[in-house]
Amino acid sequence: MRIYPVFIPHAGCPHRCLFCAQDKSTSQSVVPEAEEVDGWLENVLPLHGDGEVAFYGGTFSLLPLDLQDRYLTTAGRFVASGRVAGIRVSTRPDALDDISIARLKSSGVTTVEIGCQSFSESVLIAAGRGHAATDNLSAVQRCQNAGFQVGVQLMPGLPGSSSGEALTSLRQALALKPAFVRIYPTVVIEGTKLADLWKSGDYHPWTLDEAVNVCADMLLLCRQVGMPVIRLGLQRDPQLEENLLAGPYHPAFGQLVRSRLWRRALLHASSQEQQLTVHPNDLSDALGHRGENRDWLKKINPEVSLMADKTVERGFLRIAGRDLPLIDLSAQGGHHG
Ligand code: SF4
């Protein structure tokens, strides 16, 4: 689904969470007026469309009520004229009481993205979130009961996190059966409290390779249960790159993670067969970012070649005439950086 993002950096946020600097992570650092949003949507929306206008970067449901109304009325006009199909808002789990949920529902909001970040109490406390894991559960369930599509945002790698915690948090999120998840491994941005911890040596971010491995485990778990992962890693932005101090940021992070799953599958398959085949649309991920998997494969087994053939189903690897699913093969391939 096409998303038309409106950034409202830190608008409505009760405080700054340890890791967050929305104004330094995207090139848009000012909260727009509803009239500006109206003008922008008028320009970018098609005459008929099935996308959603999405309010990101703040705590929508804690905005002053008149501003919520102005934004939702503006977006609602474009829904009514068929130029977009719905409205999405992003908010905190503790900012979704029954009155807020009812207001969003009656104002035409269709999707709520909830920044759960972790389901570990100690990680939430260390991240200065100001809400408990039980708020995550309650917010997701009550939004689902109200009929919203619910997305869950997770941040592996916060202080006190580990690969085990990241997977446990994901399992807890999946048990709630959201419509989709987003996964943003933690990075250190200038101006945050996390930056102070990093500078004093009290926080060590994950390396890129660690984050790719953990996120590959998370992606595999999601694929095994058919859960869409609509984003892996922060969106590339020059402002973010300028303010990034440390951590596993990569402009092609999502591809690195998908390619890691292919690498695990190739490791398993290359011990059985020298000619491996994938669908042409999977070839780029299977070969890896800038051919990393191809180079790695050459080193571990120079006889193995990877080809594309459109008779192979997407997400499958053909080994000796048999098409086997990536999710099964990568689960068997283990961790190999
Ligand atoms: S993480 Fe969310 S609630 Fe916390 S400061 Fe950032 S936008 Fe606001």
Whether the per-residue pLDDT at 29 is higher than 90: the answer is no
| pLDDT mean over 26-51 | 94
Question: Taking the domains of the chain in order of start, what are their residue ranges?
Answer: 3-251, 257-333
Confidence at residue 232, expressed as pLDDT on a 0 to 100 scale:
98
**Span from the CA of 91 to the centroid of ligand 1 (angstroms):** 8
Angle of CA points 214, 197, 167, to nearest 5°:
20
Can you tell me the distance from the alpha carbon of 56 to that of 90, in angstroms, rounded to the nearest whole number? Answer: 5
Can you tell me the distance from the alpha carbon of 286 to that of 307, in angstroms, rounded to the nearest whole number? Answer: 10
Q: What would the pLDDT profile of 92-119 be if each residue is shown by its tens digit?
A: 999 999 999 999 999 999 999 999 999 9
Helix intervals (H) in the chain: 22-25, 34-44, 65-80, 98-106, 121-126, 133-145, 163-175, 193-199, 208-224, 238-243, 253-270, 280-287, 292-300, 326-333
Q: What would the pLDDT profile of 257-292 be if each residue is shown by its tens digit?
A: 999 999 999 998 988 888 999 999 999 999 999 999
Q: What would the pLDDT profile of 187-209 be if each residue is shown by its tens digit?
A: 999 999 999 999 999 999 999 99
Nearest residue (CA) to ligand 1, atom 6: 20
Query: Which of 6, 7, 8, 16 has the most ligand 1 atoms within 8 A of CB, as the residue to mutate?
Result: 16
Whether the per-residue pLDDT at 28 is higher than 90: the answer is no
- The DSSP 8-state label assigned to residue 250 in this structure reads -
CATH topology of domain 3-251: TIM Barrel (3.20.20)
Can you tell me the distance from the alpha carbon of 53 to that of 109, in angstroms, rounded to the nearest whole number? Answer: 9
Pocket of ligand 1 contains residue 22 by CB under 6 Å = yes
335, 163 in Cβ contact below 8 A? no
